[in-house]
């Protein structure tokens, strides 16, 4: 049994979720191959060779892979798919864009967002915004799976390196053209990889107050900023900060929720955080149901006080 993990990278470095996906592959058992499809991404392939659990790196280098277009990547994965029992992608925006195309090409059902490997053909996945866990068994010959990164530890780095094998790139699918990317730049850690997240909700009242209140706390703690959907929809924070069912799933060591009520759709994105701190003036707010530490009071008073104490 051989498992293919599809690496997510930007031709310079490997994205963190790839490490968690390798860990999920390890739980399936069998040999693990990691596909790095990129352009001028030799350094990525060399770095990938040090991920614990991986037996071989397959490196496909071609111009059509430069921008991670889903159609191009899916064509490459499909071309080598028959050699594998499982094909695993991180359940990130990128992985979720490619996996269904591969599953459709192979005429198999996709198994989405797994949080546990029960056996080689059986997986658990959260449903109903994380309120229930479905156990899914697949009889498909090739299992196309997306992996919830926060549900698995990251695979470790090893000193020794495995072989990097260059494989031929497929002909470009050429059905889409890369036009441009507008990527928000931030000095802060990436929201999904951060150890600490400071998150704000509708209670912040405005974009100016969101920034003025939460930035000093995030700066002191070297934390990423997050937001509820209500804060994003009200224009207090950009939508790449949204945490929750329709935003990002995070599980940092520490999650500080400021002025967030704790609707189930928000909890779905953060309740696996190791320690949750909630500051809310409403003692009945549902966020206190999942919080390890709760402060009942005004964020405009408590957050500056917290910053002063750190």
Q: DSSP secondary structure string, 45-103?
A: HHHHTTBTT--EEEEEE-GGGTT--HHHHHHHHHHHGGG-SEEEEESSHHHHHHHHHHH
- According to CB under 6 A, which one of 269, 277, 288, 290 is a site residue for ligand FAD? 269
Q: Is 209 a residue that touches ligand FAD (CB under 6 A)?
A: no
Closer CB to ligand FAD, residue 116 or residue 300?
A: 300
Taking Cα atoms as reference points, which of 89, 83, 72 lies closest to residue 24? 89
Strand partners, 88: 5, 145
| x/- track of binding to ligand FAD for residues 233-252 (CB under 6 A) | ---------xxxxxx-----
Closer CB to ligand FAD, residue 21 or residue 228?
A: 228
Least separation in angstroms between residue 183's CB and ligand FAD is: 21
List of residues 6+ apart from 219 with CB closer than 8 A: none
Taking Cα atoms as reference points, which of 54, 92, 55, 56 lies closest to residue 73? 92
Closer CB to ligand FAD, residue 11 or residue 265?
A: 265
Q: Is 21 a residue that touches ligand FAD (CB under 6 A)?
A: no
Scanning 42-50, 69-77, 147-155, 296-304 for contacts with ligand FAD by CB under 6 A, the matching segment is 296-304
- According to CB under 6 A, which one of 149, 226, 252, 259 is a site residue for ligand FAD? 259
Least separation in angstroms between residue 294's CB and ligand FAD is: 11
Q: Is 203 a residue that touches ligand FAD (CB under 6 A)?
A: yes
Angle at 192 between CA 247 and CA 123, to 5 degrees: 80
Q: DSSP secondary structure string, 129-178?
A: TTTEEEEEE---SSEEEEE-GGGSPPPPB-SS---EEE-PPPPP--SS--
Contacts with ligand FAD by CB under 6 A lie at: 201-203, 228-231, 242-247, 259-261, 263, 265-266, 269, 279-282, 285, 298-300
């Amino acid at each position: 049994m051989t498992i293919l993990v599809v690496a997510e990278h930007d031709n310079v470095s490997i994205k963190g979720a790839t490490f968690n996906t390798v860990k999920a592959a390890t739980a399936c058992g069998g040999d693990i191959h990691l596909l790095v499809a990129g352009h001028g991404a030799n350094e990525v392939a060399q770095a990938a060779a040090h991920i614990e659990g991986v037996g071989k790196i397959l490196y496909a280098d071609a111009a059509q892979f430069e921008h991670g277009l889903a159609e191009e990547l899916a064509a490459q994965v499909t071309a080598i798919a028959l050699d594998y029992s499982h094909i695993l992608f991180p359940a990130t925006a990128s992985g979720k864009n490619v996996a269904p195309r591969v599953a459709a090409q192979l005429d198999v059902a996709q198994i989405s967002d797994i949080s546990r490997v029960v056996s080689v053909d059986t997986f658990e996945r959260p449903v109903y915004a994380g309120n229930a866990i479905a156990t899914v068994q697949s009889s498909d010959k090739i299992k196309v799976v997306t992996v919830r990164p926060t549900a698995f530890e990251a695979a470790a780095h090893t000193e020794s390196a495995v072989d990097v094998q260059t494989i031929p790139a497929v002909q470009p699918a050429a059905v889409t053209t890369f036009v441009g990317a507008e990527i928000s730049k931030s000095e802060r850690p990436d929201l999904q990889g951060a150890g600490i997240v400071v998150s704000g909700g509708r209670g912040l009242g405005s974009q100016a107050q969101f920034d003025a209140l939460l930035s000093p706390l995030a700066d002191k703690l070297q934390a990423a900023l997050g937001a509820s959907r209500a804060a994003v929809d009200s224009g207090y924070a950009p939508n790449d900060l949204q945490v929750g069912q329709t935003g990002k799933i995070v599980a940092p060591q520490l999650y500080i929720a400021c002025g967030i009520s704790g609707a189930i759709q928000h909890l779905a994105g953060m309740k696996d955080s190791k320690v949750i701190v909630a500051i809310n003036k409403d003692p009945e707010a549902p966020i206190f149901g999942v919080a390890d530490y709760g402060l009942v009071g005004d964020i405009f008073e408590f957050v500056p006080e917290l910053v002063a104490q750190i």
